[in-house]
Amino acid sequence: MRVGILGVPLDLGASLRGTDMGPSAIRYAGLADALGAIGHTVTEFGNVTVPVAGQIHGAAPLRYLDEIVSVCERVADAVGGLMDAGQVPLVLGGDHSLALGTLAAVGRRHPDVGLIWMDAHGDFNTPETSASGNIHGMPLAAIVGRGDPALVNVGGLHPKVQESQTALVGARDLDPGERLALRESAVTVLTMKEIDELGIADVIRQALQVASGNGSRPLHLSLDMDVVDPIRAPGVGTSVDGGLNFREAHLAMELISQSGALVSMEIVECNPIRDQENRTGRLAAGLAASAFGKRIF
């Protein structure tokens, strides 16, 4: 497989700075070597240009809207170029807002793409339900066609993924408004409660059925590192106790890889400022390797 790595050093979507350094942390942890060791041809495509927060002013209800939309349009162009050149995109963030650009490109080339969104949060807010105005809490809603038109229309494609082909996995911290919206949507929500009751293997198999029809449709994986418990992944944008443990996270990646459906992936919300000796960056690199086929035996 030809894997193209693209960095998006974006932290405008969150209140806490630092995720702009996430791509460097994951690369430094040996991502390219880990993928090369399992037989992939890895090409580095550098970083998308992102403005610095201190040079601009972001105000509610949609903080840094114009800047984030501009970055996501550049992401869509870059990811699209990778795919057109036969690369499988692996996008490194950066806050979760960048997924709007990734899915715009992937959705254009795979109109039937399904989505597994692994996250402690719902990311299903709109300007009406968000208390902060932080856009990293809104991308999943916008991807399926809900919210501010500027976000919904990134890349000129809306919706980018059908709600009925979207699975949110690992959620454990939902705002009241997005909880209601998710209940009224066709998105399949598999929280930590389902993981506790059924086990990660059954939950991921359910998610694969929803998103890819068990491998019959292409799949995009959006991995927010805060889905992992902060004991294992302390360096994230917004940590929440009670997440996946080390083996649950790797098994999820291994099962997704085994489906044969993965056509693109992003890893987001790695924040080295909050990390300890790059533990989260190293875990992110390892999880990417598992998603792209690394096995124990």
What integer pLDDT is reported at residue 61 of this predicted model? 78
Specify whether 163 is catalytic. Answer: no
| 241: β partners | none
What integer pLDDT is reported at residue 52 of this predicted model? 83
Q: Which position among 40, 96, 220, 250 bears the catalytic label?
A: 96
Cα separation, 233 vs 282, in Å, equals 9
Task: Please provide residue 112's backbone torsions phi and psi, each rounded to the nearest 5 degrees.
Answer: -100, 20
| 87: β partners | none
Looking at this protein, which amino acid is placed at residue 177? G
Specify whether 196 is catalytic. Answer: no
153 Cα distance to chain centroid: 18
Positive/negative CA dihedral, 163, 285, 40, 295: negative
Extract the residue ranges of the chain whose pLDDT is less than 70: 54-60
What integer pLDDT is reported at residue 242 of this predicted model? 98
What integer pLDDT is reported at residue 104 of this predicted model? 98
| 228: β partners | 244
CB 177 within 8 A of CB 123: no
What is the crossing angle of helices 65-84 and 99-109, to 10°? 40
CA-to-CA dists, residue 261 to 34, 219, 237, angstroms? 21, 5, 29
Specify whether 136 is catalytic. Answer: yes
Q: Model pTM greater than 0.75?
A: yes
Q: Which position among 224, 248, 254, 275 bears the catalytic label?
A: 224
Specify whether 110 is catalytic. Answer: no
What integer pLDDT is reported at residue 16 of this predicted model? 87
List, in order of start, the domains of the chain with CATH numbers.
Answer: 2-51+60-291 (3.40.800.10)
Nearest residue to 25 via CA among 192, 271, 293 = 271
Specify whether 202 is catalytic. Answer: no
What integer pLDDT is reported at residue 5 of this predicted model? 98
What integer pLDDT is reported at residue 131 of this predicted model? 86
Which stretches of 127-223 are DSSP H helices?
Answer: 139-143, 149-152, 176-184, 192-198, 200-212
Cα separation, 92 vs 50, in Å, equals 13
Q: Which position among 11, 20, 67, 119 bears the catalytic label?
A: 119
What integer pLDDT is reported at residue 55 of this predicted model? 59
- The encoded tokens of residue 172 equal 């454990």
Q: Which position among 67, 229, 248, 269 bears the catalytic label?
A: 269
CB 96 within 8 A of CB 236: no
- The encoded tokens of residue 268 equal 């987001």
- Those residues with Cβ within 8 angstroms of residue 264's Cβ, 6 or more apart along the chain or in another chain: 79, 83, 88, 89, 90, 91, 102, 106, 220, 221
Neighbours of 71 (CB within 10 A): 26
Instruction: Kindly report, residue by residue over 99-116, the tens digit of the pLDDT.
Output: 999 999 999 999 999 999
What integer pLDDT is reported at residue 59 of this predicted model? 63
Specify whether 96 is catalytic. Answer: yes
Q: Which position among 226, 229, 248, 275 bears the catalytic label?
A: 226
Specify whether 119 is catalytic. Answer: yes
Cα separation, 107 vs 105, in Å, equals 6
Q: Which position among 123, 194, 248, 254 bears the catalytic label?
A: 123
| Pairing mode of beta strands 166-171, 114-118 | parallel
Nearest residue to 69 via CA among 132, 179, 149, 171 = 149
| 90: β partners | 5, 265
Cα separation, 148 vs 133, in Å, equals 11
CB 158 within 8 A of CB 145: yes
Specify whether 57 is catalytic. Answer: no
Q: Which position among 40, 110, 121, 250 bears the catalytic label?
A: 121
